[in-house]
């Protein structure tokens, strides 16, 4: 069965390239401001001619809106899960409290709303959000769930860079999918069909000037070797967590899953011409995921795009816009990275291959230890600067990702990383049989209960256990005082609009849930802000329970009435 659909896909690919039937690149809508409502649901979308594809969508029919944040704002998210399964939404790349992070511990059960908020301190760059439900991440991302986040700040805004979204500043979400013969997504390591912004065989018209493309590799496993069909030089201006000091001219860039780059391409004077952005994956070998040849001996890894060059976007150059940017800036910013002399902790992590059950073929682990929900693998002190050495002993590259921080790559196999990797990063892909080192500082947020994750961003590896968790410890360590928990102040009660809740002794609330009389959690508020009140206006009239937890894990249950 697998074999048949794979051959069909090859036939389909051949038809596409011969007929050059292009579809217009879909550009996700944007949402701005400081309050964001995101509703996750099962839906469907016309991906291929004929039957529609069952997808996961956030506010729309696939993927989600692009959220526009300004550095310095406090953003409030209201994430409602209307899927049949529990999920989470992780804010990939953001520096925020662990309880707002959206990792595997911040579950959003079906029919409930999660309300995290945080102050945006990240640099201007493109980040993203996606499900992080342990053992279901690959499946939920494969449905098309996720979204982009663009952060703007004063440094970036002052530069002569293109920033008209969808005009000269174009997001490119790269992933491939396998379809069955009823046009449904198949969960597989690799797809046979490339999609860009979930558009198959995409084309787009850009103005004849400098254009910025913001690329995200959202494939669950495949790497892409990005370049242009005429081998022109393009300029990397940004990495995962911010701008580079200066644009770096390249003709190729290899992106692992989860990675972002911002590039500039100059189409000045090229009105009327066409050019393709390509994945030059024929240069890969099978030590890079997606570099397995089409006839690779392990059937699970066979796919129609394996070790081939294929198109990402057909670019048509149109007329120049008013106020066009027509040259590549020579400098961007001055990044100050952590000094290795200030590091107080050195850690080494190794990536190992594991053989046989319970692990699926091709599975790897970090330090031979599978992820376990209630085991904390590492403790980091608040304020510590640390050097992490990643040693990949497996026969394939892994894109390592860590939550909470953006880091700086110190070296790859003892040599400095290439200039285009000398910016803020949260993904570091480590080739087979090599090492890489990064430095990071763990500031601002500590948590006595919830950890952050580090993992391989190949979703299949992560789900199979190639993940660990660390807490950023608060000092002194919290002590439980189970016998001495204060009551709650709840007013007004009954209430119909806003409800104000606090501990009688004013201790901070760590997490507050609103539960109905059947025991279902309807709303989750991590660290609700004092004084702002909870919006209960959408609750039907009735009796509800407040489950309120303090910083030490003590829990108080009390009733209130929605009239």
In the complex, which residues of this chain contact ligand C2O (CB under 6 A)? 90, 92, 130, 132, 258, 401, 403, 453, 455, 457
Question: What secondary structure letter does DSSP report for 369?
Answer: B
Judged by beta carbon, residue 14 or residue 376, the one nearer Cu ion is 376
Q: Which does 456 bind (CB under 5 to 8 A by kind): ligand C2O, Cu ion, none?
A: Cu ion
For Cu ion, give the closer residue by CB, 212 or 408. 408
Q: Closest separation between CB of residue 403 and ligand C2O, Å? A: 6
Answer with the entry of Cu ion, ligand C2O, none that 258 interacts with (C-beta below 5 to 8 A by kind).
Answer: ligand C2O
Closest contact distance (angstroms) between CB of 413 and Cu ion is: 19
d(CA 292, CA 287): 8
Interface with Cu ion (CB under 5 A) = 92, 398, 403, 456, 458, 461
Partner that binds at residue 455, options ligand C2O, Cu ion, none, CB closer than 5 to 8 Å by kind? ligand C2O
Question: CA of 480: how far to CAs of 98, 155, 326, 477, 486, in Å?
Answer: 20, 45, 62, 10, 13
Reduce the DSSP state of residue 83 to 3 states and report it: coil
CB of 212 to ligand C2O, least distance (A): 22
Indicate which of ligand C2O, Cu ion, none lies near residue 398 (CB less than 5 to 8 Å, by partner kind): Cu ion
Q: C-beta of 457: minimal distance to ligand C2O in Å?
A: 6
Q: Residue 562 binds what, of ligand C2O, Cu ion, none (CB under 5 to 8 Å, by partner type)?
A: none
Instruction: Give the residue nearest to ligand C2O (CB).
Output: 92
Over its C-alpha atoms, the chain yields an Rg (Å, rounded) of 24
Strand stretches in 197-259, DSSP E: 199-200, 202-207, 210-217, 224-228, 234-239, 242-250, 253-255
Tell the smallest beta-carbon distance from residue 89 to ligand C2O (Å). Answer: 11
Q: What is the distance between the alpha carbons of residues 278 and 503, in angstroms, rounded to a whole number?
A: 58
Shortest distance, CB of residue 400 to ligand C2O, whole angstroms?
Answer: 11
Minimum CB distance to ligand C2O, residue 471 (Å): 15
Specify the DSSP element, H or E, that contains 385: strand 385-392
- Chosen from Cu ion, ligand C2O, none, partner binding at 130 (C-beta under 5 to 8 Å by type): ligand C2O
Q: How many CB atoms lie within 10 A of CB 110?
A: 14
Distance between CA atoms of 168 and 207, rounded to whole angstroms? 7
Per partner kind, with CB cut-offs from 5 to 8 A, the member of ligand C2O, Cu ion, none near residue 314 is none
Residue pair 240/421 in contact (Cβ under 8 Å)? The answer is no
- The residue (of 396 and 402) whose beta carbon lies closer to ligand C2O is 402
- Round to whole Å and give the CA distance between 512 and 486: 15
Question: Closer CB to ligand C2O, residue 247 or residue 258?
Answer: 258
If the CB atoms of residues 147 and 258 are measured against ligand C2O, the closer one turns out to be 258
- Residue 52 vs 350, nearer CB to Cu ion: 350
The rounded distance, in Å, linking the Cα atoms of 98 and 434 is: 31
Q: Tell how strand 498-503 and strand 398-402 pair up.
A: unpaired
For the CB of residue 189, give the shortest distance to Cu ion in the complex, in Å: 11
Angle at alpha carbon of residue 66, lines to 61 and 69, rounded to 5°: 150
Contact between 247 and 236 under an 8 Å Cβ cutoff? The reply is: yes
In this complex, which beta carbon is closest to Cu ion, that of residue 91 or of residue 560?
91
H helix or E strand, kind and range, residue 12: helix 2-19
The residue among 79 and 315 lying less far from ligand C2O, judged by its C-beta, is 79
Strand partners, 526: 511
């Amino acid at each position: 069965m697998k074999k048949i659909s794979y051959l069909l896909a090859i036939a389909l690919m051949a038809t596409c390239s011969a007929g050059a039937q292009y579809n217009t690149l879909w550009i996700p809508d944007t949402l701005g401001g400081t309050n964001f409502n995101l509703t996750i649901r099962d839906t469907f979308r016309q991906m291929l001619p004929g039957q529609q594809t069952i997808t996961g969508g956030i506010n729309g029919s696939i993927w989600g809106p692009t959220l526009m944040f300004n550095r310095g704002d406090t953003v409030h998210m209201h994430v409602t899960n209307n899927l049949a399964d529990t999920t989470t939404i992780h804010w990939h790349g953001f520096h925020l409290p662990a309880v707002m992070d959206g990792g595997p511990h911040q579950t959003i059960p079906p029919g409930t709303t999660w309300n995290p908020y945080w102050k945006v301190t990240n640099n201007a760059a493109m980040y993203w959000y996606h499900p992080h439900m342990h053992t279901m991440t690959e499946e939920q991302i494969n449905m098309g769930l996720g979204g982009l986040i663009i952060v703007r700040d004063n440094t970036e805004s002052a530069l002569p860079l293109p920033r008209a979204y969808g005009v000269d500043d174009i997001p490119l979400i790269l992933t491939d999918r396998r379809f069955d013969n009823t046009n449904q997504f198949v969960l597989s390591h690799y797809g046979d069909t490339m999609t860009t912004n979930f558009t198959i065989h995409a084309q787009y018209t850009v103005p004849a000037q400098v254009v910025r493309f913001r690329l995200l590799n959202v494939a669950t496993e495949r790497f892409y070797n990005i370049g242009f069909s005429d081998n022109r030089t393009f300029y990397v201006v940004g990495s995962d967590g911010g701008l580079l000091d200066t644009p770096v001219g390249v003709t190729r860039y290899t992106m692992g899953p989860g990675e972002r780059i911002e590039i500039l391409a100059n189409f000045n004077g090229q009105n009327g011409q066409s050019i393709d952005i390509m994945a030059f994956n024929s240069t890969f070998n099978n030590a890079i995921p997606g570099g397995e040849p089409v006839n690779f001996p392990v059937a699970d890894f066979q796919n129609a795009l394996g070790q081939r060059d294929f198109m990402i976007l057909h670019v048509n150059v149109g007329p120049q816009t008013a106020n066009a940017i027509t040259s590549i800036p020579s400098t961007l910013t001055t990044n100050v990275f952590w000094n290795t002399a200030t590091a107080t902790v050195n850690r080494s992590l190794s990536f190992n291959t594991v053989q046989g059950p319970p692990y699926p073929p091709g599975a790897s682990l970090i330090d031979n230890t599978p992820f376990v929900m209630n085991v904390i693998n590492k403790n980091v002190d608040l304020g510590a600067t640390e050097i992490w050495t990643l040693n990949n002993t497996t026969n394939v590259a892994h894109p390592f990702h860590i939550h909470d921080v953006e880091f700086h790559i110190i070296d790859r196999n003892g040599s400095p990383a290439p200039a285009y990797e000398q910016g803020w990063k949260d993904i570091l892909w480590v080739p087979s049989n090599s090492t890489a080192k990064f430095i990071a500082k763990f500031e601002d947020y500590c948590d006595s209960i919830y950890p952050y994750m580090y993992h391989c961003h190949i979703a299949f590896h992560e789900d199979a256990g190639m993940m660990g968790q660390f807490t950023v410890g608060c000092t002194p360590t919290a002590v439980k005082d189970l016998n001495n928990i204060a009551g709650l102040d709840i007013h007004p009660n009954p209430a119909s609009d806003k409800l104000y809740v606090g501990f009688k002794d004013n201790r901070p609330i760590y997490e507050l849930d609103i539960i109905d009389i059947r025991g279902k959690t309807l709303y989750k508020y991590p660290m609700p802000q004092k004084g702002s009140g909870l919006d209960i206006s959408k609750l039907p009239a009735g009796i509800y329970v407040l489950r309120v937890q303090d910083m030490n894990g003590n829990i108080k249950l009390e009733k209130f009435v929605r009239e």
